[in-house]
Amino acid sequence: MESQKNIVRLENIHKIYKTGEIEYHILKGINLTVRSGEFISIMGPSGSGKSTLMNIIGLLDRPNAGKVYIDGIDVAKLKDSEIAKIRNRKIGFVFQQFNLIQRLTVYENIELPLLIRDISKEEREKLVREALLRAGGDLGWLKKKPNQLSGGQQQRVAIARALVGKPKLILADEPTGNLDRDSGRIVMETLKELNKAGETIILVTHDIEVGNCAQKIYYIKNGEIVGSGETDQNKCILNSKR
């Protein structure tokens, strides 16, 4: 059944960084499965390995041991160019710092992931507009530069850029970390809507009210998953009275 398909499967992932003679064992045997349509959050203290794990899931980094399957593909066997293609086609990224290019317009930022594909200008324009609307943005922003928008608006542009290529998976690393509470709430509303419409989302956060907006939370500590559980939607920022 399509809805039961595994989008991410990690088996016994280890990551070790070497600084001179010293080895730092950052991820120590991570196992994780994320099915199509799931929305999970990953929480844990600073330095516990959350971003390292996201970089491995996002194919920005390779593990020292263990298997990474994205949409059923064992990525260890692929060349860097093939990995770049999978990253471009199957994964959309949203970062804490938005990572928009300031000298480009909002339109050009959202269009970027499409430029390395064989898509006509007309089709690209249609996809950019569609993505910005799905991300809760306003078409009036398209000609603006990112710094003419508020932080919350810039994050919605970043979500549009993540969505534009119709990825299988959205990875959001602290997407509300740079935002005030109201903007954070709007961003979570957007992610929640996208998940309802079928998007698969993995979110890293320090904020329990953000983590609770997912369906399931995984807790990571010292490079290991130490627990997981269903979330309490009453404790999601969208339902809190504050």
Q: Least CB distance from residue 22 to ligand ATP, whole Å?
A: 10
Kindly compute the dihedral angle of the four CA atoms of residues 35, 40, 43, 48, in this order, to the nearest 10 degrees.
20
Euclidean distance between CA atoms 207 and 211, whole angstroms? 6
Of these, 7, 8, 10, 26, which contacts ligand ATP (CB under 6 A)?
A: 26
Binding status of residue 176 toward ligand ATP by CB under 6 A: no
Nearest to 201 by CA among 162, 151, 235, 240: 162
Binding status of residue 52 toward ligand ATP by CB under 6 A: yes
Q: With CB under 6 A as the contact rule, which of the stretches 47-55, 63-71, 145-153, 163-171 interacts with ligand ATP? A: 47-55
Q: What are phi and psi of 221, to 5 degrees?
A: -145, 135
Binding status of residue 50 toward ligand ATP by CB under 6 A: yes
Of these, 3, 4, 46, 234, which contacts ligand ATP (CB under 6 A)?
A: 46
Q: Helix 121-134 to helix 151-163 angle, to the nearest 10 degrees?
A: 130
Residue type, 124: R
What mask of x and - would describe binding to ligand ATP in positions 198 to 217, judged by CB under 6 A? Answer: --------------------
Binding status of residue 48 toward ligand ATP by CB under 6 A: yes
Binding status of residue 24 toward ligand ATP by CB under 6 A: yes
Nearest to 53 by CA among 226, 229, 220: 220
Residues in binding contact with ligand ATP, number by CB under 6 A? 12
Q: What are phi and psi of 52, to 5 degrees?
A: -60, -45
Binding status of residue 49 toward ligand ATP by CB under 6 A: yes
Give residues in contact with ligand ATP (CB under 6 A): 17, 19, 24, 26, 44, 46-52
